[in-house]
Amino acid sequence: MPISETWLLPDGVADVLPEQAQVIEQLRRKALDFLASRGYQLVYTPFIEYIESLSSLSESNQDLDLATFKVIDQLSGRLLGVRADMTPQVARIDAHVHQVQGVARYCYAGTVLHTKPQGFNTTRAPLQLGAELFGSDSIDADVEMIDVMLNLIKTAGMVDGIHLDLGHVGLFRSLVKLAGLNKSTERQLSDLYQRKALPELAEFTQELKYGTDFYALGRYASDLDALQTHISTEIFADEAFKHAFDVLKTTYTEIQARWPNLNIGIDVVELRSYHYHTGLMYAVYAPNRAAPLAQGGRYDGIGEHFGRARPATGFSCDLYVLSAGQHQQIEKVVAPKGTAPDLLEAIAETRNQGLSVIQLLGNDDLNSVPNATHQLVNVAGEWKVETI
């Protein structure tokens, strides 16, 4: 390889330079401190595991499996995977490593790796931060998780103009089950819903059992009152459909009460990660951003692969996405060279104040410190920090 190409990085992988790295690190610390204040315990998970552990999300794992880099372990000869999502790892901890009776709350932060960029996010190495709650199937748990997610985004300084989307896979899933649809038809419907292709949906559902209900689900996906009016009595009387509807409506009401100024939208046919989630789904968006700031939902039974199926709900975000566009000037105080006790004391005191102090070396001068903003000078026998 020519030396001119040795500094190049793979597509979807990038360095994070000091001005943005400082913002991201401060955000990470604030976010984890906030989650700790809400009772979420920090865990660290390994960057690489046996592929069986990382593939614990049953049918949903087809997408996750395609996103996972795989290598052969030179010690055991077994197949290893580089984590593409930390949720399965936290589920393993809850189910097998740290078995808590009752509700368990965990949080995490770390880099994950994807074989290809996921969605609108162009990076293949997101810095994932998230929280998971195990052991409760109540609406209160979902409401708590959404509230925690919104407060975390508020901690990041992003409140104005944000939009919360709520959905529930149970509506579509129960209707598919009642209609007895095969997997192919189910996938076609899901695609039509995702594309909001109402004319195609109207034509496609004409020959389906409960076709008018499938069409109503897409036509009135954002209006629960209108949906209730247009769904047939038989479908609305179905226990699973009614439960999903009530959960969605109650969650909307409770979040609106906690966040009266928040813009909340409903989309019952937002079926991202449809096979992964088992109930409520939620995502937060900001103006002029295609990728969600954070997203999550309910995924009951996730620990079954490890021998302990538990109700679970959680969310995650990419700190790179959450901090996009934010840069922070790094203040650098330059101190003269020397070992005089008063100078060394002044340097230590300045650092204790939270400032970065660089002491000159050898024959260096101010020009030797790029982007220096301040200097430590002796004024009438007293060391002071002055702006350059």
- Does 132 count as an annotated binding residue? yes
- Does 145 count as an annotated binding residue? no
Query: Phi/psi of residue 258, each to 5°?
Result: -80, -30
- Does 158 count as an annotated binding residue? no
Instruction: Tell me the β-bridge partners of 49.
Output: 81
Closest CA to 172 of 102, 86, 272, 93: 272
Residue with tokens 């088992």: 278
* CA distance to 97, 208, 293, 310, per residue, from 94 (Å): 6, 42, 26, 9
Beta strand 127-134 with 69-72: parallel, antiparallel or unpaired? unpaired
Tokens standing for residue 106:
């965990």
Instruction: Tell me the β-bridge partners of 265.
Output: 165
- Does 85 count as an annotated binding residue? yes
Closest CA to 334 of 388, 380, 272, 268: 388
Closest CA to 319 of 14, 90, 25: 25
- Does 149 count as an annotated binding residue? no
- Does 1 count as an annotated binding residue? no
Residue with tokens 């790892």: 89
Helices (H), 8-164: 18-37, 51-54, 61-67, 87-92, 139-155
Binding residue positions for L-histidine: 85-87, 128, 132, 272
